[in-house]
Amino acid sequence: MLDGSQSRDEVDRWATRAMQSLEYAEVDETIWWALGMLSGIDLRHGPGETYLHDDEQVRGWLAEFRVRCGVIS
């Protein structure tokens, strides 16, 4: 999404479907956290308004995800 390869709507739909399909599965806490952050990524303050979460905040989530996974960026 941040590189423009997918829209916020596409990312939201993917994350929501993933969460629904994993509802009864044992899922790593970090993965579940990340899916929860991405689910709803397309929400706006109101019709035609800015997104609730801007790209800078999403970059912060990515950095936190990497820390949680022990990935050095």
User: pTM for this one?
Assistant: 0.84
User: How far does CA 4 lie from the centroid of its chain?
Assistant: 14
Give the tens place of pLDDT for each residue, 60-73: 999 999 999 987 65
Give the tens place of pLDDT for each residue, 5-63: 999 999 999 999 999 999 899 999 999 999 999 999 999 999 999 999 999 999 999 99
- Which residues, in sequence order, are CB contacts of 19 under 8 Å at separation 6+? 32, 35, 36, 39
Q: Report d(CA 30, CA 63) in Å as an integer.
A: 12
Given this model, what pLDDT does residue 69 score? 92
What is the torsion angle, in degrees rounded to the nearest 10, for the CA atoms of residue 58, residue 64, residue 68 and residue 73?
100
**Contact yes or no for 7/34 (Cβ under 8 A):** no
